[in-house]
Amino acid sequence: MFNKFMLEVGREGSVIRELNDFGRQRAKLLGKDSVFDFSIGDPSVPAPSKVQKTLVALAEYPDSVSIHGYTSAQGLGEAREAISRGIQKRFDFSMPPELIYLTCGASAALAISINALCESGDEFILCAPYFTEYPVYVKAAGGVPISVPFAQNFDIDLDSLEAAITPRTKAVIVNSPNNPSGKIYSEALLKKLSSLLMKKGEQLGLQIYIISDEPYRELAYDGATVPYIPAYYENTIVCYSYSKTLSLPGERIGYVAVSPKAHLCEELFYAIQGAGRALGYVCAPAIFQRIVAKCEDETPDLAAYAENRELMYDGLISAGFDCVPPEGAFYLFIKAPDGDSKGLSLRARELGLLIVPGDDFAAAGYCRVAYCVDKDRILRSLPLFKQLRESY
């Protein structure tokens, strides 16, 4: 009757949505203070003030027609130039504006990139733990998601990855800083990954691409740096979002950038444009393209996230939880004391703590705690986490 896959994907209650429904009902019954929602990566710090000022100026601009009109499908030149300048400045890497394509956020960027690359049956390697939507995008494009388990401390397990490469391998999706683990892949690891993909590509006569999903790129703590993957591997497609950096998650603005060093980069860029068009993306929201043009170099209030991270990490550790200290993003990934992550999430929600079991992130046995919330909420939640741990 309808498309079976779409029906299934639409029906399957997202665990996060279910948790949110539970939270809403609990808040109705017991009051707002009885719910501590750590389930969603919705930034808790306001948009940088320059973003807010620019938005007001754009909204007030008298010539509404020129502000809100269609842009080219690729996006405004001024936005693409600002992005290119930002990449040059931050990473000393030359990403030409001609190979940048503005999108409705990183999810659109991922779906578009995957559709641009994928012929039916192509394999996409996903490095656990990974964002729940990757396999959905890959399957929708007619591809096959291949899950590779993680190594110690949520690093990429290169041996498993090597074993997963076949003549049908099209790309590896890499996400650093990582959602859900908070891991930043080191330069050493990325160099090894790059050598491995080049070696295997040569052996198999393949071009293997890295799709680098980087929405958390600017969220790194304790002076950690996030290596820029195109500097280490030529066949790289960057998927970026301003959702977290500029605290605009609902406004859907991000981009795809194809490395100028990638094999047949111009042809690949045509395929990206084709996929954007064929999936119904006409252009990224125009007013937020203009925001990017003016505010690309703004950064979020990292200090607030850093403080949250410390409070949450220390609190969870002293409550007795096992947890790798996160280096970036705004997630902590804690171990279920008995290995049952769904059980931990269920126990937690009885106390009003909403945390997401790692099963859908291909990391059963762990739960994700999003600490992008008010500091006060974190402080008040810690005794409950203690109680939760003591229930084991």
- Write out the binding residues for a copy of itself, residues 129-158 only, by CB under 8 A: 133, 136-137, 139-141
The region of 6-14, 179-187, 212-220, 363-371 touching a copy of itself under the rule CB under 8 A is 6-14
How far apart (Å, rounded) are the C-alpha atoms in residues 323 and 86?
34
DSSP state of 127: E
- For a copy of itself, the binding residues in 235-254 under the rule CB under 8 A are 247-252
Contact between 379 and a copy of itself per CB under 8 A: no
CB neighbours of residue 34 within 10 Å: 13
Structure tokens at 98: 């001609």
Residues 182-211 that bind a copy of itself (CB under 8 A): 207
Work out how close the CB of 146 gets to a copy of itself at its nearest, in angstroms, rounded to a whole number: 18
Smallest gap from residue 87 Cβ to a copy of itself (A):
22
Q: For 130, what's the count of Cα atoms within 13 Å in the CB-facing half-sphere?
A: 24
Residue that the structure tokens 């979002």 belong to? 241
CB of 268: closest distance to a copy of itself in angstroms?
A: 6
Minimum distance of a copy of itself from residue 253's CB (angstroms): 8
Give the residue, chosen from 165, 171, 211, 275, that forms a contact with a copy of itself under the rule CB under 8 A: 275
- Binding status of residue 321 toward a copy of itself by CB under 8 A: no
Complex with a copy of itself: residue 118 or 324, whichever CB lies closer: 118
Task: Please state, in angstroms and rounded to a whole number, the distance separating the CA atoms of residues 165 and 347.
Answer: 39
Tokens of 148: 């590779």
Task: Tell me the window of 43-51, 153-161, 223-231, 336-344 that interacts with a copy of itself (CB under 8 A).
Answer: 43-51
Distance CA 374, CA 312 (A): 11
Name the residue among 21, 252, 235, 239 with its Cα closest to residue 134. Answer: 239
Do 84 and 228 touch, CB atoms closer than 8 A?
no
Q: Does 92 bind a copy of itself (CB under 8 A)?
A: no
The one segment of 3-11, 86-94, 160-168, 329-337 that binds a copy of itself by CB under 8 A: 3-11
Judged by CB under 8 A, does residue 44 bind a copy of itself?
A: yes
**Main-chain phi, psi angles of 229, to 5 degrees:** -55, -40
Phi, psi of 98 (to 5 degrees): -65, -20
Q: How far is the CB of 58 from a copy of itself (least distance, A)?
A: 8
